[in-house]
Amino acid sequence: MIVADRSVTLTLTGTGDVLEPEHGLMAIGSGGNYALAAARALADLDMDAEAIARKAMKIAAEICIYTNDNVVVESLDDAA
């Protein structure tokens, strides 16, 4: 599971490990490497985090036969 707020992004693994991202981006799942590559390419564009994630997952779904294009992005309202 990937969790994030304005100051930190972390991956919580099934074995309890807590991982920090390289290059400020993370991806998980069967198409995770494809999505991560796409996100790194898109990160310099003028897009918000959700738009980058959605586009990266779309690209991953086109490349990886085990990744589908049914994506759910959950976010919390900014409390501050």
* pLDDT bucket at 49, cuts 50 / 70 / 90: confident
For the residues 50-56, what does the mean pLDDT come to? 89
* Type of residue found at 46: D
Q: What was the pLDDT predicted at 71?
A: 86
Distances (CA, A) of 53 to 7, 15, 17, 31, 40: 18, 25, 23, 13, 10
For the residues 38-66, what does the mean pLDDT come to? 89
- What does the domain layout of the chain look like in residue ranges? 2-63
Q: Say if residue 20's pLDDT is above 60.
A: yes
Verdict on whether the full-model pTM lies above 0.85: no
* pLDDT bucket at 46, cuts 50 / 70 / 90: very high
